[in-house]
Amino acid sequence: MNTIKVTIKDHLALITLDRGRSNALNREMISELNDMMNSISSDPNIAGVIITGKEGFFSAGLDLIELYGYSEEEAESFWHLFLDFTANITAFRKPLVAAINGHSPAGGCVIALACDYRIMAEGKAIIGLNEVPVGIIVPGSIFSLYSFWIGTAHATRSLLEGKLFSPEEALKIGLVDELINPESILTAAERKIRKYMAMERNTWEQSKLNIRKDLIAATRANQTEALAVMLKQWWAPTTRNILKTIIDNLQKK
């Protein structure tokens, strides 16, 4: 694997996002994550998963530089892949904890939202869904995931203004569950997930699936129509201009 690292200790898998400086999500990274989660799901020797990033960045979200250059067919294929991955990780039955050790906007936030518990490092990192200001229409399945944790009203207001939260703000609205010193984040994540792993496995997993029944249905629903609307806007001149400006600024850094 080129974009993630996996270590296993005492039935616990630690997945570290490891692509470039900011862990921007491209086709290869999402494919590797999806394959790994599917493999772990069917492995009886692994009872839980922690997902983390690197210092400064959990994940900066989708790799807009790579996506901008996709053909229409490549863009459609990518968005189907991303939404399928979102559905798979949302329905992942084993305990899943996010150790958010840096910035986590957009796609990075989506991964964190699919987890059962989110621990974020104290500091100046940001988290949230900021797709609308970028010109990306957020699918209903992603909104369902957002509102599952922070409520419909908060999710609506935050999504429509593309609000990004500080760790303290995220904790206050329930977007994250715990703040901790960056040096202790993996220790805290392991402490939390081992509490889940200590439960009777089938009881815990089935309870999780029951709680998420409607959410899983929303993320697994046929999204062809919504995706068509989203892709039409993706190719609109206004969106392309916004993306080009963002990319130009990124490449200057």
pLDDT for 53-66, tens place per residue? 998 999 999 999 99
Confidence band for 250, pLDDT divided at 50, 70 and 90: confident
Two structure tokens written together for 166: 């500080």
Confidence band for 251, pLDDT divided at 50, 70 and 90: confident
pLDDT at 55: 85
Q: Are 3 and 29 in contact (CB under 8 A)?
A: yes
Q: What percent of the chain has pLDDT over 90?
A: 96
Mean pLDDT across 210-215: 98
More confident call, 178 vs 250: 178
Mean pLDDT across 40-52: 97
pLDDT for 130-146, tens place per residue? 999 999 999 999 999 99
pLDDT for 89-115, tens place per residue? 999 999 999 999 999 999 999 999 999
pLDDT at 252: 76
Has residue 253 got a pLDDT over 70? Answer: no
What is the rounded end-to-end Cα distance, in angstroms, of the chain?
A: 28
Mean pLDDT across 40-53: 97
Cα 57–chain centre separation: 13
Two structure tokens written together for 223: 């999204």
pLDDT at 109: 98
pLDDT at 166: 98
Which residues are catalytic, by number? 62, 107, 130-131
For the stretch 65-70, contacts whose Cβ atoms lie closer than 8 Å and that sit 24 or more positions apart, written own/partner, are: 65/24, 65/247, 65/250, 65/251, 66/24, 66/26, 66/27, 67/26, 68/240, 68/243, 68/244, 68/247
HEC per residue, the chain:
CCCEEEEEECCEEEEEECCCCCCCECHHHHHHHHHHHHHHHCCCCCCEEEEECECEECCCCECHHHHHCCCHHHHHHHHHHHHHHHHHHHCCCCCEEEEECEEEECHHHHHHHCCCEEEEECCCCCEECCHHHHCCCCCHHHHHHHHHHHCHHHHHHHHHHCCCECHHHHHHHCCCCEEECHHHHHHHHHHHHHHHHCCCHHHHHHHHHHHCHHHHHHHHCCCHHHHHHHHHHHCCHHHHHHHHHHHHHHHHC
Amino acid (one-letter) located at 157: R
pLDDT for 111-123, tens place per residue? 999 999 999 999 9
Q: Are 13 and 6 in contact (CB under 8 A)?
A: yes
What is the distance between the alpha carbons of residues 178 and 168, in angstroms, rounded to a whole number?
A: 9
Confidence band for 249, pLDDT divided at 50, 70 and 90: confident
Amino acid (one-letter) located at 225: E
Confidence band for 3, pLDDT divided at 50, 70 and 90: very high
Two structure tokens written together for 7: 């270590």
Has residue 239 got a pLDDT over 90? Answer: yes
